């Protein structure tokens, strides 16, 4: 178990390294590799593939074949999904809520896990599970930077990954907070860009996001 948890921690460090996690919703496996390659080319070799379509797991599997790309599964809401996305090639799991069974299964499989929280009660529960990084969701609707800053007071060791309602124009404000480890967002690889096959556009957005994150964290 200790070895698996160490593996998950190392993966999480890599996921957070550039300060931005592209959230990608795909329903056509034929586009998965192209999206992944565009992100890698843009200097952002990480992607959270949401489980919001019938073919999402196949899309994740194909994206996981892209060299140098760290792929995870988002919108994981049941423990059995953890096993399936692990088999598909996911290295990390993101959940909209805090489910101890999902956390435990991820640890058993050596997967990094980012469970979602939005209240002090949920952060406290996460801390009792020995978590020190959590997803803050839905970020904008739950009060944005003001709420995160308020939560950081009683939980100074917790780091947050806000997701939901964040875009290129607002990411810097979140990353300026010392307790924010990274932000997640869908503006880098939008459904429109994917549908149009705008791989160059996705690459450019990825590069801009990395540059903006670096400046905000400096």
The set of catalytic residues is 48, 135
Beta bridge partners of 136: 117, 162
Phi, psi of 80 (to 5 degrees): -65, -25
- Alpha carbon 211 to chain centroid distance? 18
Of 96, 54, 53, 46, give the one whose Cα is nearest residue 72.
46
List alpha helices for the chain, DSSP H.
Answer: 2-16, 32-41, 56-63, 79-88, 100-109, 120-128, 144-152, 171-175, 191-196, 199-217
CA distance 107 to 16: 18
Report CA dihedral (135, 141, 145, 147) to the nearest 10 degrees: -80
Q: Order of strands across the sheet with 116-117?
A: 116-117, 133-136, 159-162
- How would you class 137 by CB atoms within 10 Å of its CB: exposed for 0-12, middle for 13-18, buried for 19 or more? buried
């Amino acid at each position: 178990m200790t070895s698996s948890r160490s593996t998950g921690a190392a993966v999480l460090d890599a996921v957070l390294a550039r300060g931005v996690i592209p959230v990608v919703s795909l329903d056509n496996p034929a586009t998965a590799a192209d999206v992944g390659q565009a992100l890698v080319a843009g200097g952002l070799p990480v992607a959270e593939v949401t489980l919001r379509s019938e073919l999402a797991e196949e899309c994740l599997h194909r994206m996981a074949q892209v060299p140098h790309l760290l792929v995870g599964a988002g919108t994981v809401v049941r423990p059995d999904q953890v096993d399936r996305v692990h088999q598909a090639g996911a290295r990390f799991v993101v959940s909209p809520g805090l489910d101890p069974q999902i956390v435990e299964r991820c640890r058993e499989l050596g997967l990094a896990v980012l469970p979602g929280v939005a209240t002090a009660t949920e952060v406290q529960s996460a801390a009792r599970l020995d978590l020190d990084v959590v997803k803050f969701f839905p970020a904008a609707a739950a009060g944005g930077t003001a709420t995160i800053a308020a939560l950081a007071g009683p939980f100074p060791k917790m780091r947050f990954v806000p997701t939901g309602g964040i875009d290129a124009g607002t990411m810097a404000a979140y990353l300026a907070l010392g307790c924010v480890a990274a932000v997640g967002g869908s503006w880098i690889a939008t459904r429109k860009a994917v549908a149009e096959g705008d791989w160059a556009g996705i690459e450019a957005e990825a590069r801009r996001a990395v540059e903006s994150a670096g400046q905000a964290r400096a």
